[in-house]
Structure 1
Amino acid sequence: MTDVAFSPGTLVTARGREWMVLAGSTADTLRVRPISGSEEDQTLIYLPLEPQGVREARFPLPDQRHLGGHDAALLLRDALLLSMRRGAGPFRSFGQISVEPRAYQLVPLLMALKLEPVRLLIADDVGVGKTIEAALILREMLDRGDIERSVVLCPPHLVEQWVTELEGHFNLQAVAVTASSAKRLERAIPPGVSLFQVHPHTVVSLDYIKSQERRANFLHHCPDFVIVDEAHACVGNGQGHHQRYNLLRGLADDADRHLVLLTATPHSGDDTAFYRLLGLLDRSFEGLQAATENKKERERLRERLGSHFVQRRRVDIAEWQESGLFPKRETRELTYKFTGEWEAFFNAVLDYCAEIVAGDENNAAAQRLNFWGTLALLRCAASSPMAAVLALRTRAGEELSPDERGELLDRLFDGDADSLVEDDVEPPAATDDPALTALAAQAEKLAGQAGDPKLKVVSDHVVELLNDKDHAYHPVIFCRYITTAHYLGKHLKRRLPDATVEVITGELPAEEREARVAKLGDVEGHRVLVATDCLSEGINLQDHFDAVIHYDLSWNPTRHEQREGRVDRFGQTSPTVRATLMYGSNNPVDGAVLEVILRKAERIRKELGVPVPIPDEGHSLTQALLKGVLLRRKDAQTPMPTKQLALFEEGWATAEEKAKANRTIFAQRRLRPEDVLPEWNKSLAAIGGRDAVKRFTDRALTRFGAGLEDMRHGFKAPTASLPEEVRERLDAEGLTGTLRIDFRYPAPPPCRAVQRSHPLVAVLAETLLERSLNSVADPNSPSVLGRVGCWVSDAVTKRTTLALLRLRHQLVIRRGRRDSTLLVEEATGLAWAGQSGQLLRGSEVMALLNAPPLADVPPHVREREAAKALALLGERANELEAFAKERANALLDDHLRVRAAAYHDEKAETRARSAQVEALPRPDVIGVFVLLPKVG
């Protein structure tokens, strides 16, 4: 056993090859990867069992026999850049992610890095990218060594989406923990061990973990980093909210736990719930509610809150000067009119409901249940004859608990966003009243015949969208109930034989819903999706659809915004999206809801840029409004409920003023583009941006005997002709056949977005680098890049010798009494110009390789210059070492700058300085090239 301590970044020789020691090694066991290998080639070396021992090694210098031209040098540089997974620059994580975040999405990350512990509420608008923002924080803190485990808490219908996002975009394998998966996971671990100890990253259903018996165990074993999605649903007074709040309160009471809260609606109209949400960041923030008189204290709390709360509307993103981030939303209203038998049926339903509302009120409980039944019948009858049939066949139970009544009421008024998946089931309307028998017969007759006026209007509109002369749209049609969705889907399949029509409802499990959306998205021609609100949250539809039709009017404006937000969001490639609202022109209930609720909400949303929740806690005002509408149906002399209408107006005005005030008080104003963009540009320079990825992929495929083929949208990348080794590695990543790709993010369908850490780029870069750094590789192979070269370039005016370098640094971070040592790698360059050997550094050197050669040089000149360049490396070894130390100091400055505390105190200063960077000796010389100036 060797007595040498091998720290991360050290090169060692063992088993007949050279390795780089990685973080995570111990005194007995080394975690290593081959110096010419990829991250996937990592292995463990147990030192006591190594017969030949392990000794320190040196990186092999370029061999003069491995000559190459400019194309090989450029490809070698890009392969080196794009193979970096532990890159330098201000951020550790960018080499590990396969999505290129926008600069504005770095604001929450920079805010988080300045906090200890991280307590952050991200309340950006729908579709801005809160998932990306939160996952960036998680990935960065992992790669900085600040945390080791994480958990995402979210509503059940979002669990699979989070698992997919973390794995697909952030290279994190998270385990889903739900009511259906928990027992299976627990069976695979020893008794007494928590699954949160076994699985470092989990995505957990809030509804599963909130119960008292599970909560205590979870709080005991919970990871040190927690993301809570839809956090506003955990602090109100609705069904199950108190259990969720108790869970989050227990998490927040651990002073060392990192907590990131996500919501697009931080203030849902309930002041108490809003301040409870803020109190999860710091209990003192709850004092904002009471500190109305003490202006000094209120301002102090607001100032502190500004470091923990970021909320931006889409208009706020404009200052980042990134065009085309979001599409233009074009809205339209379509009316349909019930005629003939449909009009007769709906009027009969209205008359029946009016009789119920005007009936005897001696039995309050029975009257309430009957009124709820009338609302259910009204909604279903307006939706479709099939929904009416099912409602009329379903009997409502009279023995309802207070919680069950509240849940029923929330469902009727579209108020409970927590149960969207189960919310599309038709509510019960039937009682013992024989008058309903005739209505049921009418509904069943209508359900089986043609001529539905509502169907005709939507069908004509879908045809119009599919055949739009400027842009053929792909619409999503949202229905309120399952039977309506199937009823509409069946009709559209007959009407649109050349289109692919799919129906997705809450009947399907989450995995099946996602699979059907993905399959429909692969359709080349016209595609139409009919769905219930089970898809208004949880599955992003912007990749495949760009129009939304509200077939059924919702009674909650937030529900409309949720639906439209599935397509009108970050990642939508269409420049415009359509949103169409349908309602019945002779449906007085639609008219009342439209005028008093929806249009008011839309006006405020357009003015403020964010949706404002309906000011009707408990739905009492809406109930009074609808009763008034029905009573007028019964008796035209009955006045509208003017008191309730006045209260609605007053409520909307108050809600608008609160929203304006909150925007003024809480909107993120600390970090501006000028604060963030320099860090963003440094990161891109360190790891390679979109242009480098595209150039490299095209040239690398060509080297391997393939190439990119331009398409109208994106490119084709054939893999069949690639070497077997490359095909096998791509196949392991699920990449086979001819790939449709694009280098923009997001990519226009049906292309896949390819970023720097996409498997295609990673495999090509690592393979080229492995073959080129292998000392026994065939130098005549086109996939072995020459590490030495010489050509004439107009990028220089003096003879310039350029060394392409890989620097290795140890970043040591102290947390409490424990030090974490991380390996950081950097691709850069150093050059010597002219007789005096003027030093050129970093990006200036790397850019010299961009200029195409003016001419090649004769073989004897190339060989002579190569020999002189290799000799120069030995003579200037001290300057290479000095440059490595210089870069280590710059890396430390970057690290400390982004960690500088948002507000300064003794603890913050100590934390900011608890890091050091040490350059490892003998930088790796990947290539050396001589650039000669043009003569004459």
Structure 2
Amino acid sequence: MSTEAPRFQVGSLVSARGREWVVLPDSSEDDLCLRPLGGADEDAILIHLPLEPAPSRPRPATFPLPNPAKAGGRASGLLLRDAMRLKLSAGAGPFRSFGHLGVEPRAYQLVPLLMALRQEVVRLLIADDVGIGKTIEAGLIARELLDRGEIGRLAVICPPHLCEQWQSELATKFHIEAAVVRSGTAARLERGLPQGQTIFDHHPFTIVSLDYIKRPNRLDDFARACPEFVIVEEAHGCVLARGRDRQQRFELLKRLAQDPKRHMVFLTATPHSGDEEAFHNLLGLLDPAFRELGSLPEGEARRRLRARLASHFVQRQRADIREWKDSTVFPDRETREVTYQLTGPWGELFDEVLRFARAMVKRTENASKLQQRMSFWAALALLRCVSSSPAAAAQALRTRLKATLEGPEAQQLEEIEALAADTVLDGADDQSLTADETVPAGTTEEAARDAKALQDLIARAERLKGEAHDPKLALLRREVEGLIAAGFRPVVFCRYLATAHYLAAELQGPLGRKGAVVDVVTGELTPEEREERIAAFAAAADGKVPVLIATDCLSEGINLQQHFTAVVHYDLVWNPTRHEQREGRVDRFGQTAKVVRALMLYGANNPVDGAVLRVILKKAERIRKELGVSVPLPADTNQVMQAVMRAVLLSTGAVKDTRQLRLDFPEIESADRQVETLWQSAKEKARATRTIFAQARLRPEEVLPEWEKAKGVLGGAADVERFVKAAAEALGAPLHERRDGWRLPVDHLPEALQEQLATLGIERPVQLVFDRPGPSGVLHAHRAHPLVRALAEHLAERALAEEGEIAARCGALFTDAVATRTLLLILRLRTQLVVHKPDAAPRHLLAEECVVARLGRDGPPVLLDDAESRRLLSAPAAKDMPPAQRQRFVRAALELLTPRMNDLAALASTRADLLLEDHVRVRDAAIGRREQRGYRIDVRPCLPVDVIGLWVLVPVQGVL
């Protein structure tokens, strides 16, 4: 295939196969990529010119002027203009990508994009707080660079549980179809590849699991074929020096970052967790010089380096977003703690299990290190499970912790430590939170010899199932009923599978009688199945309140803000990062509720809960309130929790004394002081980091002008709402206002449009909102939503084909809105941008915009701003104008316009120059250096200008 300049200019009109088309940038000398004149990019076709029959071979075409005989009514002008604007995908303005987005970003989310565009090679660390929208911010950068022709491939490197989320986000929000590369998909992706090619050679867009890529042979393949743009999710977990896996990840990222032309964006909500080495390793991936900040003394050199780093580092908390005066972004989070008492049979069982656990530990005091550790882990598992539920307690008592009996004792000890830490605790550190939800082994071989005592404990635990004997379950039921009564939709998080299924079974009946429906989602389902289950569950609630019981498989990877508005911590987590992640699934960007609630249950006289609260969770919450963000636990969570629980297990006091939360044991006091000291240090480091880089971030006054300019070209939320309401009414399906938005009776729309919407899954009357994402079942009609695009394309196609008066191309009316006869032109301007790089063939881009100009008898046409064009196109008629008179006014206007096409060409040239200015301005920091190496952009207006519509406004004064 030839790669020379296309025979037809990009953006020009051609006639082929009985209709008119626009030439798209992917064309070449032998192949034309064409979009129907009134259609969308999705309708594009590719014509191979050497095989095209001569009669249908493409030839130049011109766009016809409006037909006076098809003049329309008063409202059709504004409807046509709005339809033409909202269907644009290759819009003009400062950003090339906004027409390709499936999401309407908030203005504050443009900050990382503008920072990236001011760098010649993008190296950016986005460290915004949880829930602000880092995925959207990174996707905006990727989409913009793709649409500017600066990259052609990209890869996302992320933990395995986030692969599907990234795949969905890229596809739905940025129209980037990426392949997930991990152990379960690699064989299928490799099947049929040409000899010598890897997955990364063949697929331009990939999402790569860290677990898959860490093997040396795969790492080498990826590093060799790595795309020119890389996004690294959870980047903080890849830069720790300790741990073989983390060292491999860090070496991979260092290798990728060594390519001076590779664009890289790193995402993390916790860039600095108290580990100075890890933090400076992360900064060094942006530029090796930034690692020196770890050792460079205070002085001018350090200040200069820190100032340079500020242009590569954006870190904001929710308080920083408030200055954008966007009140629709985040809800208020109300937190509350509720307690239950370990009393009666339940308290007696807890006492017996605690005695049993202590006996296991004491029995091995003089045994081998392996036996001691096995007893400790089994005892700790029992304490955790009995604090969770009778179901988890019974299962833990039945399950024995066994050594492998193979290999030296040191190796067996290492394996036991790793296994037990993963099942009993919540991860070795904040970068490796466990995904194991099975109930851990709660006994050892030696303990199991006392079969009678063990069977008695199991039987007692089984008998305590149910609200009559389980005060924790009874408290949960009352609190969930309260949340439902207050209008909340709760998700209940628990630690173990056994507890999750127990709660679902026990709550189904009582909550069902209160108008709720209960379901359970655990790690037994794959990530895809979890997402499908939640969506189906929310959709099938059918007016009832959905209550979801979940394990921590949902604390990462699946966002719940569209379905749920409250979080209940049924089991306390032993890692504050996991605690915040749970609440962050609901309290995040896109939550429709103004208030979300977080409820934490714990035993008031449970020493396990008391120790976790005192040493970890209370401190984490205090620091979060002080700083506005979470700071990870600045020490190995395992070591801290083991020290705390050892104190509970080895206390010499009576069991019932221990249950009175007398947590002043020396071991707990020591762990508490150690954690307090470390956490205070981490807090101050986090505060200092935020203070330094907050001073350099872009402010609203620097970003909003670009934002408003982009909306002015393509249309914003207000334009969408006005258009959808007007279009629905004109098509015979007016919107009906409801308590939670608007109702569109889809079945009243024209049959052809109904068929088109059915292919998009919209077949029944739908609920709409315009200003922000709606709750589950309510559609957010933003400019890129398929419903809005379908309405715009339907009306535009009918108007361009001049079928009917709904969105006619011309008209005339008497009005008081003007003092002299005024001719308004709706123009479609098409501009070709040609990007020249020294090491690549020229890249052809197409930009389109729909503008309104006023044309007088003398002088050039005057471009109207959005407000003035809306005012005139929506001007009310002061009196009726007969159809014959309307046609005469339109014909006279066409006679005035025909000899003035050169004036419109001059207008198009001026707009092309402004487009180049916009295109370059947001890249101004990098453009000068690039021009020195032969990088330049040319613009060419596509002529003649398309006159989409023509309206004549005639003043009433003086008209007989």
Which bin holds the TM-score, normalised by the shorter protein?
over 0.9
* C-alpha distance in structure 2 between counterparts of 1:275 and 1:153, whole Å: 20
Which residue is equivalent to 2:370?
Answer: 365
Which residue is equivalent to 2:893?
Answer: 869
* C-alpha distance in structure 2 between counterparts of 1:165 and 1:644, whole Å: 42
Question: How far 1:112 moved relative to its partner?
Answer: 1.0
Within 5 A, what are the aligned runs for 1:476-491? 476-491=491-506
Q: 1:402 aligns with which of 399, 403, 414?
A: 414
Q: 1:592 aligns with which of 608, 611, 616?
A: 611
Which residue is equivalent to 1:414?
Answer: 426
Which residue is equivalent to 2:849?
Answer: 826
Question: How far 1:634 moved relative to its partner?
Answer: 4.3
Q: 2:879 aligns with which of 840, 855, 869?
A: 855
Say which SS state the counterpart of residue 142 (structure 1) adopts.
helix
Contact kept? 1:327, 1:575, Cα under 8 Å: yes
Which residue is equivalent to 2:660?
Answer: none
Question: How far 1:341 moved relative to its partner?
Answer: 1.8
Which residue is equivalent to 1:549?
Answer: 568
Contact kept? 1:421, 1:506, Cα under 8 Å: no
TM-score (norm 1): 0.94
Say which SS state the counterpart of residue 180 (structure 1) adopts.
helix
Which residue is equivalent to 1:517?
Answer: 534
Within 5 A, what are the aligned runs for 1:559-708? 559-617=578-636, 619-634=638-653, 639-667=666-694, 669-708=696-735
- Higher mean alpha-carbon deviation, 640-649 vs 91-100, is at 640-649
- Higher mean alpha-carbon deviation, 365-374 vs 409-418, is at 409-418
* C-alpha distance in structure 2 between counterparts of 1:4 and 1:518, whole Å: 46
Change (3 A) 1:603 1:76: same
Q: 2:39 aligns with which of 33, 37, 40?
A: 37
Contact kept? 1:829, 1:845, Cα under 8 Å: no
Question: How far 1:571 moved relative to its partner?
Answer: 0.9
Which residue is equivalent to 1:793?
Answer: 815
* C-alpha distance in structure 1 between counterparts of 2:508 and 2:6, whole Å: 72
Q: 1:303 aligns with which of 299, 303, 307?
A: 307
Q: Does 1:70 align with 2:83?
A: no
Q: Does 1:499 align with 2:504?
A: no
Contact kept? 1:420, 1:533, Cα under 8 Å: no
Question: How far 1:795 moved relative to its partner?
Answer: 3.4
Question: Which ranges of structure 2 fall in alignment gaps of 5 or more residues?
Answer: 405-411, 658-663
Percent identity (aligned): 49
Question: Which ranges of structure 1 fall in alignment gaps of 5 or more residues?
Answer: none
Question: How far 1:403 moved relative to its partner?
Answer: 6.7
Q: 2:479 aligns with which of 440, 446, 461?
A: 461
Q: CA RMSD in A?
A: 2.4
* C-alpha distance in structure 2 between counterparts of 1:82 and 1:714, whole Å: 21
Say which SS state the counterpart of residue 754 (structure 2) adopts.
helix
Contact kept? 2:433, 2:578, Cα under 8 Å: no
Say which SS state the counterpart of residue 342 (structure 1) adopts.
helix
Change (3 A) 1:738 1:877: same
Q: Does 1:353 align with 2:344?
A: no
Within 5 A, what are the aligned runs for 1:24-173? 24-50=26-52, 51-52=54-55, 53-173=57-177
* C-alpha distance in structure 1 between counterparts of 2:565 and 2:6, whole Å: 61
* C-alpha distance in structure 1 between counterparts of 2:48 and 2:369, whole Å: 77
Which residue is equivalent to 1:846?
Answer: 869
Aligned length: 925
Question: How far 1:464 moved relative to its partner?
Answer: 1.0
* C-alpha distance in structure 1 between counterparts of 2:577 and 2:788, whole Å: 41
Question: How far 1:289 moved relative to its partner?
Answer: 1.1
Say which SS state the counterpart of residue 126 (structure 1) adopts.
coil
* C-alpha distance in structure 1 between counterparts of 2:934 and 2:950, whole Å: 38
Q: 1:274 aligns with which of 261, 273, 279?
A: 279
Within 5 A, what are the aligned runs for 1:170-249? 170-236=174-240, 237-238=242-243, 240-249=245-254
* C-alpha distance in structure 2 between counterparts of 1:443 and 1:338, whole Å: 18
Question: How far 1:127 moved relative to its partner?
Answer: 0.7
* C-alpha distance in structure 2 between counterparts of 1:682 and 1:441, whole Å: 73
Deviations 1:200-225 (A, max 9, x none): 22222221122112111112222211
Say which SS state the counterpart of residue 270 (structure 2) adopts.
coil
* C-alpha distance in structure 1 between counterparts of 2:501 and 2:144, whole Å: 45
Question: How far 1:614 moved relative to its partner?
Answer: 1.2
* C-alpha distance in structure 1 between counterparts of 2:571 and 2:367, whole Å: 34
Deviations 1:46-84 (A, max 9, x none): 222331343322111111111012211111111100110
Q: Does 1:423 align with 2:436?
A: yes
Say which SS state the counterpart of residue 227 (structure 1) adopts.
strand
Q: Does 1:888 align with 2:890?
A: no
* C-alpha distance in structure 2 between counterparts of 1:37 and 1:479, whole Å: 50
- Higher mean alpha-carbon deviation, 302-311 vs 517-526, is at 517-526
* C-alpha distance in structure 1 between counterparts of 2:236 and 2:76, whole Å: 54
Contact kept? 2:11, 2:846, Cα under 8 Å: yes
Deviations 1:724-776 (A, max 9, x none): 432332222222222232223211332011211211111221122222212xx
* C-alpha distance in structure 2 between counterparts of 1:6 and 1:160, whole Å: 41
Q: 1:255 aligns with which of 253, 256, 260?
A: 260
Question: How far 1:649 moved relative to its partner?
Answer: 2.1
Within 5 A, what are the aligned runs for 1:314-333? 314-333=318-337
Say which SS state the counterpart of residue 684 (structure 1) adopts.
helix
* C-alpha distance in structure 2 between counterparts of 1:833 and 1:64, whole Å: 19
**Aligned AA (1:413):** L
Change (3 A) 1:326 1:239: farther
Deviations 1:426-471 (A, max 9, x none): 2222211135762453234333443101111111111111112xxx
* C-alpha distance in structure 1 between counterparts of 2:917 and 2:101, whole Å: 23
Say which SS state the counterpart of residue 611 (structure 2) adopts.
helix
Deviations 1:222-241 (A, max 9, x none): 22111111111212234722
Question: How far 1:621 moved relative to its partner?
Answer: 3.3
**Aligned AA (2:936):** S
**Aligned AA (1:526):** V
- Higher mean alpha-carbon deviation, 65-74 vs 736-745, is at 736-745
Within 5 A, what are the aligned runs for 1:337-348? 337-348=341-352
* C-alpha distance in structure 2 between counterparts of 1:494 and 1:54, whole Å: 68
* C-alpha distance in structure 2 between counterparts of 1:304 and 1:859, whole Å: 67
Contact kept? 2:349, 2:460, Cα under 8 Å: no
Question: How far 1:375 moved relative to its partner?
Answer: 1.6
Question: How far 1:389 moved relative to its partner?
Answer: 2.0
Say which SS state the counterpart of residue 181 (structure 1) adopts.
helix
* C-alpha distance in structure 2 between counterparts of 1:879 and 1:367, whole Å: 90
Which residue is equivalent to 2:944?
Answer: 922
**Aligned AA (1:465):** L
Within 5 A, what are the aligned runs for 1:902-917? 907=929, 910=932, 914-917=936-939
Say which SS state the counterpart of residue 828 (structure 1) adopts.
strand
- Higher mean alpha-carbon deviation, 863-872 vs 185-194, is at 185-194
Which residue is equivalent to 1:933?
Answer: 955
Change (3 A) 1:437 1:25: farther
Question: How far 1:382 moved relative to its partner?
Answer: 0.4
Change (3 A) 1:827 1:177: same
Question: How far 1:410 moved relative to its partner?
Answer: 5.2
* C-alpha distance in structure 1 between counterparts of 2:419 and 2:127, whole Å: 26
Contact kept? 1:309, 1:667, Cα under 8 Å: no
Say which SS state the counterpart of residue 491 (structure 2) adopts.
strand
Contact kept? 1:505, 1:534, Cα under 8 Å: yes
TM-score (norm 2): 0.92
* C-alpha distance in structure 2 between counterparts of 1:141 and 1:835, whole Å: 43
